[in-house]
Amino acid sequence: MFQTLKAQPADKILSLMQAYKADPRDAKIDLGVGVYKDASGNTPVMRAVKEAERRLVADQTTKAYVGLAGDPAFADAMIDLLLADTLPRARISAIATPGGTGAIRQALEMVKLAAPDATVWISNPTWPNHPSIIRFLGMKVREYRYFDEATRGVDIDGMIADLGTVAEGDVVLLHGCCHNPTGANPTADQWDRIIATLQDRGAVPLVDVAYQGFGDGLEEDAQATRKIVGAFPNLMIAASCSKNFGIYRERTGILMGIARDAAEAQLTQANLNFLNRQNYSFPPDHGARVVTTILTDPALRADWEAELEETRNTMLDLRRQLAEELRRLSNDDRFDFIADHRGMFSRLGTTEDRVETLRADHGIYMVSDSRMNIAGLNTQTVPILARAIVDAGI
Ligand code: LMR
């Protein structure tokens, strides 16, 4: 049977991870996969996570199955974190999923169940796994303009023009905050235009929120999603706990569905549960339980928020330092966008050849589309990167 298999295309982020590991040079810099690293290059277990895990080990009395949707307390805590009181709880259905990727996958399978002919619109560019999963599921996909290569900001006019051609019932995948891979995000006014256009077209938003708390703060990063939630009768939200709780390998995410009313929400919930059953039965519980423990204990939550805020500020300081160093070395302000971008990533905006030069000559690893993980830097490596960027003629 297996002789009929074809080789699958390599994922550019994951193959870069392997190439970095295999590079024997000591002075190498990993700006590839989106994992937070502190100044010494470690990805720490957050203090509140350690404490919540300690309590779980001490207090948990069973590992019996929980339920197809996962623990309802996890859904309540995550809905509160992301949506606060934007909507009546009765309109929201939710399932725990294996990470944010699991939530995206289940969201797309929901589209296949509910509207198999719908086209899924994705930003150009987007996280490469979005189009990969959509195509794997045999769904129709189209791109909308998003990134202005000249300013490295959002091409809002191009985006609005393209979204203005979306057909009724099409699904539009939006990054709720901290756009991956560009780091460029719409302003509040621009979000209003995006929402008005999508309402006008009768589109169904699918909001991917993988970095809440990494941009402008936990509340600030939820604002666009809350606005979207208040503006559409139906939509879905895929949220990840991998980055903001630093529990990457625990695979903790959630898919929320917003229905018109309580009866429709029950039907939506039953379909979400069905999809979990078809794909893996019960979703992973450990990470979800850690998250719930933290979010429902005021002291643990305060400590988690404080550590997340330190993480966010560290990335912002690195952004400012890099933009300043580039301004000094190049005598030009064309790299100031790095300080304006938000989240873990910035797209430098250069050719694959120059990205390859940075890797070959300087041991600097960034994704081939010139996406840099800002958290892969520290105060010592910022000047090295800035010098290499200028020397490479970027
Ligand atoms: C990334 O974009 O680097 C992360 O979301 C990790 C991944 O799975 O690609």
Give CA–CA dist 24/7, Å, rounded.
28
The CATH number given to 11-46+300-391 is 3.90.1150.10
User: Is any atom of ligand 1 closer than 6 Å to the C-beta of 33?
Assistant: yes
CA of 164 from ligand 1 middle (Å) equals 29
127 lines ligand 1 (CB under 6 A): yes
- Out of 48, 94, 103, 127, the active site residue is 127
Confirm if 287 and 247 have CB atoms less than 8 A apart. yes
CA distances from 125 to 179, 181, 198, 264 (A): 10, 7, 19, 34
Q: Is the shortest distance between the CB of 242 and ligand 1 below 6 Å?
A: no
Torsion over CA of 217, 248, 70 and 238, rounded to 10 degrees? 50
- This prediction has a pTM of 0.96
| Spatial separation of the C-alpha atoms in residues 79 and 85, rounded to whole Å | 9
Distances, alpha carbon 213 to alpha carbons 68, 191, 221, in Å = 28, 18, 6
Distance 223 CA to ligand 1 centre (A): 23
Q: What pLDDT score was predicted for residue 39?
A: 86
Identical fold at 11-46+300-391 and 65-296? no
Kindly state the tokens that stand for 111.
């589209």
Interval between CA 257 and ligand 1 midpoint (Å): 23
Residue in 52, 103, 210, 392 annotated catalytic: 210
Count CB neighbours of 185 within 10 A: 22
Quick check: is 243 catalytic?
yes
Task: Give yes or no for a contact between 341 and 153, defined as CB atoms under 8 angstroms apart.
Answer: no
Question: Do you find a cis peptide bond into 88, omega within 30 degrees of 0?
Answer: no
Q: How far is the CA of 62 from the centre of ligand 1 (A)?
A: 33
Give the C-alpha distances (Å, rounded to integers) separating 137 from 30, 100, 142, 278.
32, 17, 14, 15
Fold of 65-296: Aspartate Aminotransferase; domain 2 (3.40.640)
Is the CB–ligand 1 distance for residue 180 below 6 Å?
A: yes
Per-domain residue ranges for the chain? 11-46+300-391, 65-296
- The rounded Å distance from CA 248 to ligand 1 centre is 10
Q: Which atom of ligand 1 is nearest to the CA of 373?
A: 3
Nearest CA to ligand 1 atom 2: 34
Distance (Å, rounded) from C-alpha 242 to C-alpha 180? Answer: 15
Look up residue 117 and give its two tokens.
Answer: 């002919």
Check pocket membership of 17 for ligand 1, CB cut-off 6 A: no
Please state, in angstroms and as integers, the Cα–Cα distance from residue 10 to each residue in 1, 180, 273, 387, following that order: 22, 19, 32, 31
Q: Ligand 1 mean position to 13 CA, how many Å?
A: 7
Look at residue 18 and give its three-state secondary structure: helix
Q: Which residues contact 277 (CB under 8 A, 6 or more apart)?
A: 68
381 within ligand 1 shell (Cβ under 6 A):
no
Catalytic residue list contains 333: no
Looking at the CA of residue 127, tell me the nearest atom of ligand 1.
Answer: 2
Instruction: Calculate how far, in angstroms, residue 128's C-alpha sits from the geometric centre of ligand 1.
Output: 9
Listed in sequence order, the residues at least 6 apart from 8 whose beta carbon sits closer than 8 Å to its beta carbon are: none
13 lines ligand 1 (CB under 6 A): yes
List beta partners, residue 257: 93, 236
Name which residue sits closest to atom 5 of ligand 1, judged by CA: 34
* Ligand 1, atom nearest to 210 Cα: 5
The atom number, within ligand 1, closest to the CA of 101 reads 8
| Helical spans, DSSP H, in the chain | 12-22, 47-59, 72-83, 99-114, 129-136, 156-163, 188-201, 223-229, 262-279, 286-296, 298-330, 337-340, 352-362, 381-391
| Cα 245 from Cα 197, distance rounded (Å) | 34
Q: Who contacts 31 (Cβ-Cβ below 8 Å, separation ≥6)?
A: 364, 365, 366, 372, 373, 374, 376, 377, 385
Place of tokens 């939200």: 237
Averaged pLDDT in 10-residue chunks for the chain of 394 residues: 94 92 94 92 96 98 97 98 97 98 98 98 98 98 97 97 98 98 98 98 98 98 98 98 98 98 98 98 98 98 98 97 97 96 96 96 96 96 96 91
In the set 208, 238, 375, 392, the catalytic residue is: 208
Which residue from 104, 123, 127 has its CB within 8 A of the most atoms of ligand 1, so it is best to mutate?
127
> ipTM score here?
0.93
Among residues 27, 41, 32, 40, the alpha carbon closest in space to that of 384 is found at 27
- Picking from 224, 233, 118, 110, the residue whose alpha carbon sits closest to that of residue 174 is 224
